[in-house]
Structure 1
């Protein structure tokens, strides 16, 4: 069985690792036949190198790495591929394939909607404004893709106002987004994190939002939502099929 290596970002906030661990536990419950292992890019253990070195030492010849990342920014495009290149050099018998990032996937959009409904009483109100809070990137194209997600969250709902804000590296800030949604006529506002787990950034966003008034609610992060488990398994399955096709062509 080709192991599924779930790679999370890592955080100094212990809640982040707890939620990510809960996600991986839910994945194992869904697919007890899979060998699922969790590792982190930074700040938490075990590291990517530690887990893949162990996989190689156990005699596995392949592994699928599923990044627990919502956007295709530096960590997905540079950081993780560089680590995997190092693994391939150390273990030439181990064929390691990196899957695509998780978002934006319709099932994760639905997960954000579910978190909004959980957070807001009377979520069927057409006067509800939605602010999608994301981390932000130094890559303008990545930010442009993230900005479009807020529109997807409100599509097909009664909610008529939506804006994406960023915690770092880009604008609008959460304060600017709140002002924009209020100008658009929202009666109430919910800030929905485009984050898998809570941490220092989500706390900062939450404090900034709450300082703007009692009509603002802060929803929970995506966490171990069934939609997230579905997406991770699909990324694994698709990449595993590509890996097997490669081996068949090379045989």
Structure 2
């Protein structure tokens, strides 16, 4: 299916800077680099660069400073699903530092990908594929588990809950539950246990991840363990979804909105523990308040 290229009013000396999370697992970083390469091939009219918040070069601060030094305008686009500490604190702080260091450059920050209909379309398509792979594709006897990273930020977890609810409302599955790989609860094993007690005969696990990494690899090991624990239940687990058409289109929409001056809504920072900690200590967010808890993908 051919999709029209979205017009973006960027200039030759504009830089679009992708911000990826970064992973301890090299294959996850390689996938993000591959995404950047595919996006450059798809959109040769854009000058696209890539940086990582942690675990992989180039780093966010250095890449921002370099882009601001060599560009008239920098369009910063987070390749991140949920708004937790990285999106709410680290990226905006890096943007502000680059603005101070290079006031001649205009640096604009796009919102993260967020819970939205394009991401829902990916999840629905992945769920349909998993159902077709099962021997008994009956949604009334098949439980669904949307499995995400987990965060100490309630807004990020709330986005996950919203996606699970949307998935249930637009399908025929009676059980669409939410689970997390860390930080918060419930965990995958507990959710599957509840679904089995309710009589499901099949379970589809939908990882809510853009790219591979240590947590995605762990998910597939957990599903194998569950197969042995519940031999009477059939399991299907889908893969991460960073290269889907909708992700490219969402990133292009972010760039188009920035270039056109379309205002974005404020980040949902009410109750954000990162911002409260930063305020109480009189300084910005630092890794000391997040990475001790968060397990990177």
> Is this a same-fold pair by TM over 0.5?
yes
- Is structure 2 residue 149 aligned with structure 1 residue 135? yes
Q: Tell me the distance in 1 between the aligned counterparts of 2:216 and 2:168.
A: 21
Aligned residues: 243
Structure 2 residue aligned with 1:216: 235
Q: Tell me the distance in 1 between the aligned counterparts of 2:152 and 2:102.
A: 33
Give the Å deviation of 1:119. Answer: 4.0
After the TM superposition, which of the residue ranges 179-188 and 41-50 deviates more from structure 2? Answer: 179-188
Give the Å deviation of 1:29. Answer: 2.8
8 Å Cα contact 1:125/1:158 also seen in 2:
no
Residue of structure 2 aligned with 1:35, choices 21, 40, 47: 47
SS of aligned partner of 1:3: strand
Give the Å deviation of 1:61. Answer: 1.9
The alignment's TM-score, normalised by the length of structure 2, stands at 0.76
- Is structure 2 residue 245 aligned with structure 1 residue 231? no
Segments of structure 1 that go 5 or more residues without pairing to the other structure are: 245-251
Structure 1 residue aligned with 2:121: 110
Per-residue CA shift, 1:99-158, capped at 9, x if unaligned? 111021111111122233344414852122211111111122321231221122243333
8 Å Cα contact 1:162/1:181 also seen in 2:
no
After the TM superposition, which of the residue ranges 24-33 and 81-90 deviates more from structure 2? Answer: 24-33
Q: Tell me the distance in 2 between the aligned counterparts of 1:185 and 1:68.
A: 38
Question: What is the RMSD computed on CA atoms of the aligned residues?
Answer: 2.0
Residue of structure 2 aligned with 1:81, choices 80, 86, 92: 92
Structure 2 residue aligned with 1:5: 17
Structure 1 residue aligned with 2:188: 174
Q: Tell me the distance in 2 between the aligned counterparts of 1:3 and 1:124.
A: 47
Give the Å deviation of 1:43. Answer: 0.5
Per-residue CA shift, 1:42-90, capped at 9, x if unaligned? 01111122322332332x2211111111111100001111111111121
SS of aligned partner of 2:192: helix
- Does the C-alpha gap of structure 1 residues 48 and 177 become closer, same or farther in structure 2, counting only changes over 3 Å? same
Runs of 4+ in structure 1 deviating by more than 6 angstroms, as ranges, are none
Q: Tell me the distance in 1 between the aligned counterparts of 2:111 and 2:262.
A: 13
Structure 1 residue aligned with 2:73: 62
Q: Tell me the distance in 2 between the aligned counterparts of 1:158 and 1:3.
A: 44
Structure 2 residue aligned with 1:98: 109
Q: Please show how residues 189-200 of structure 1 align to structure 2 within 5 Å.
A: 189-200=203-214
SS of aligned partner of 2:261: helix
SS of aligned partner of 2:226: coil
- Does the C-alpha gap of structure 1 residues 210 and 13 become closer, same or farther in structure 2, counting only changes over 3 Å? same
Structure 2 residue aligned with 1:247: none
Structure 1 residue aligned with 2:34: 22
Q: Tell me the distance in 2 between the aligned counterparts of 1:13 and 1:118.
A: 27
Residue of structure 1 aligned with 2:173, choices 159, 171, 185: 159
8 Å Cα contact 2:36/2:50 also seen in 1:
yes
The alignment's TM-score, normalised by the length of structure 1, stands at 0.89
8 Å Cα contact 2:114/2:159 also seen in 1:
no
